[in-house]
Amino acid sequence: MSRVWAVCKREFWGYFNSLIAYIFSIIFLGAVNILYVWFVLIRSGQVNLSAYFEFLLYGMWFIIPAITMRAWAEEKKLGTAELLLTLPVNDWEAVLGKYLAALLFFALVIVLSLVVPVSAALLGRPDWPAVFCGYLGVLLVGAAFIAVGMMMSSLTRSQTVAFVGSVIVCLLLLGVNDLFNRFALPLGLGFFISYLDVGEHFNSIARGVIDSRDIIYYLSVVSFFLVLNKYWLERRKWA
């Protein structure tokens, strides 16, 4: 466990040395907040926090691949993967350490977005349990997307390829239901596809319904992609 922590610590501080992480975080927070103020606050004149979480959700396909793209791609490109994976760290510990670091960094970015609910609190009385549920949903979607992004990064030594690949998978997970709703699908398949959709699960959590099925969904997505990540790493295909 101390080794997972050592990997995590290094990775986490690594984000602060990477200009890219700053730039993307600023773009993400800036875009989400400006769009929210423009389209929701000014148009409706109401502080609608559930809409804010929607905006955060739809910004995540962009910010998370940007955070995770370097995770393995850079290690492979610079050869440091050989250093890391010959230290007394097994592949799981390395995968988990990196995953936790990305999750922590993402959580930090999300903490910065608390500006909006806090200013809402100054203006009126926000529904704090709803805010909590909204953030829980954002974190769970984030956890799933980070696992996707890390897996993509383990496939390639190019950060750009990792970024584009993760964006595509994240967008698919966000839009799979809308995409297939256009077709008449057999009931079972339709149900399955709506189950795969990240947004569906997010909506029910954001509404305040914390259902074990939704939690299980996110945990399964995370586990699935982390297992794949470890599998690709184990194959050492790039070496």
DSSP-derived secondary structure letter, 190: H
Q: Report the residue number, 85 or 164, with the smaller CB distance to other proteins.
A: 85
* Residues 133/142, Cβ–Cβ less than 8 Å: no
- For the CB of residue 97, give the shortest distance to other proteins in the complex, in Å: 9
Distance CA 27, CA 22 (A): 9
138 to each of 56, 78, 201, 202, how far by Cα in Å? 7, 33, 11, 8
Distance CA 225, CA 144 (A): 8
* Residues 47/120, Cβ–Cβ less than 8 Å: yes
Q: Report the residue number, 213 or 236, with the smaller CB distance to other proteins.
A: 236
Q: Report the residue number, 21 or 60, with the smaller CB distance to other proteins.
A: 21
**Site residues for other proteins per CB under 8 A:** 2-3, 6-7, 9-10, 13-14, 17-18, 78-80, 82-83, 85-90, 236, 239
Pick from 182, 184, 153: nearest CA to 169: 153
Q: Report the residue number, 52 or 72, with the smaller CB distance to other proteins.
A: 72
Tokens of 32: 């989400």
Q: Report the residue number, 88 or 129, with the smaller CB distance to other proteins.
A: 88
- For the CB of residue 2, give the shortest distance to other proteins in the complex, in Å: 7
- For the CB of residue 84, give the shortest distance to other proteins in the complex, in Å: 8
- For the CB of residue 234, give the shortest distance to other proteins in the complex, in Å: 9
- For the CB of residue 183, give the shortest distance to other proteins in the complex, in Å: 41
